[in-house]
Homo-oligomer: A and B are copies of this chain.
Amino acid sequence: VVASGHNAKTLNIGMLGHGFMGRVHSHAYATIPHIFPDLTCAPRLNTVSGMQQDQPEQFARQFGYERWTNDWRAVVDDPEIDIIDVCLPEYLHEEVCLAALEARKHVFCEKPLALSAASARGLVIKAAETPVKAMCGFNYRFLPAVRLARELIYQGVLGALYLIRASYCQESGHDPDRPAEQVRYAYGKTQLGSIRGLGSHLIDMARFMGGDASSVTGLMRTFVGARKMSDGQSYQVKADDMATLQVEFNSGAIGILTATAVATGRKNQLSLEVNGSKGSLSYDLETPNHLQVYLDDATHPELRGFSNVNVTERPHPLMKYWWPPAHNLGWEHGHINELKHFLDCVSADQSIGPYGATFEDGLRAAEWAEQAWISSRDGRRISLAGG
């Protein structure tokens, strides 16, 4: 179906994957026409592919896809498809994205972009050679409070940046009795665990605020190493479940980042504090609609404090077409705003960045993670590309 009938022009979506992210993206495409009156191209939920036999059909019926298949290559090669949305397991990202770019499709690829920086670099090169839009899924950029934070920094409201503290803390890995297969970061061949899954969001958040960096110093651990498989066999986790980074930003600011899956009690805490010469801001994804802002130039000096801003009013970024003030948005709305941005870029041939994450942004997250791991192993500060 065409998700909306409000204009004739459509962009045909080929959705690859129908897990958690496939659901979120499909729902987002369906929602976009309900919210945005300024939409120039309506997304058409054309085809979904997935590996398990019957599930694509069931998924297609649930979300209104017109067709379904078990073969992602068929979707990539289908001339009717305009956009390939990659929600497949991470180990397939490189191959699928290369094929989609080769087929000259616009590509939206969920984070993390690839298993390694080398893979990601190949994708960046391929995307640069191909006259399509390629976007990496860092959805938190599209929450109004996060966008406002970015704008305050770039408008100079905070002055020169001194310190960026960010952390992405979950407890998804802290229970040692959870079977290894169910703990995504823990179960795989790579040694990059929380630094890749949570860490890529974290690094992108830091870069979205502070830009690129010249060095990273990592300290990483695997605290919950001994697990069992569902069948009872022992499984030794090799990937980190705790990663901390010190970073030197090119701007002169420094950064302190923490990504961990064993922060007991922290459900989904992506937190941020930025201190600058003229002000500071603080954010926590567990209260996603609020940004705390401190300005040094307040007209009432005796009333200076962190202002608890509910970023849901008309003048706030990304809120123009949403609900009335403080009718709070939820986590999924970041994805909806993000895919709306992608559709706009595709239909109007506009740049994905700086608000949307490019494949280069995906690459940077991979590079920082890998270099942090080497730094942690070797006990020394390591230079970063882009620095």
Task: Please list the residues of chain A having a beta carbon within 8 angstroms of any beta carbon in chain B.
Answer: 1, 3-6, 20, 23-24, 26-27, 30-31, 33-35, 37, 58, 60-64, 148, 152, 157-160, 162-163, 165, 167, 169, 174, 215, 217, 219, 221, 223-224, 242, 244, 246, 248, 252, 254, 256, 258, 260, 262-269, 275-280, 285-290, 292-296, 298-310, 312-313, 315-316, 323-333, 379-381
User: Is the pair B310, A303 in contact by a Cβ cutoff of 8 Å?
Assistant: no
Given contacts A223-B162, A299-B299, A304-B309, are A264 and B248 in contact (CB under 8 A)?
no
User: Is the pair A31, B31 in contact by a Cβ cutoff of 8 Å?
Assistant: yes
Partner of A26, one of B34, B37, B157: B34
Q: How far is the CA of A1 from the CA of B61 in the complex (A)?
A: 12
User: Is the pair B304, A307 in contact by a Cβ cutoff of 8 Å?
Assistant: yes
Q: How far is the CA of A190 from the CA of B5 in the complex (A)?
A: 40
User: Is the pair A256, B256 in contact by a Cβ cutoff of 8 Å?
Assistant: yes
Residues of B within 8 A of A264 (CB): 158-159, 162, 275-280, 294, 296
Give the 3 A-B residue pairs with the shortest CB-CB distance, closest first.
Answer: A265-B294, A330-B330, A267-B326
Residues of B within 8 A of A323 (CB): 20, 24, 331-332
CB distance from A146 to the nearest CB of B (A): 14
Given contacts A278-B264, A328-B330, A332-B327, are A305 and B309 in contact (CB under 8 A)?
yes
Residues of B within 8 A of A304 (CB): 265, 307, 309
Residues of B within 8 A of A325 (CB): 267-268
15 pairs from A and B in contact (CB 8 Å cutoff) = A5-B62, A30-B34, A159-B264, A162-B223, A265-B304, A265-B305, A268-B324, A268-B328, A286-B310, A286-B326, A293-B305, A302-B315, A323-B332, A329-B330, A379-B381
Partner of A305, one of B20, B221, B307: B307
Q: How far is the CA of A327 from the CA of B329 in the complex (A)?
A: 11
User: Is the pair B26, A61 in contact by a Cβ cutoff of 8 Å?
Assistant: no
Residues of B within 8 A of A242 (CB): 162-163, 254
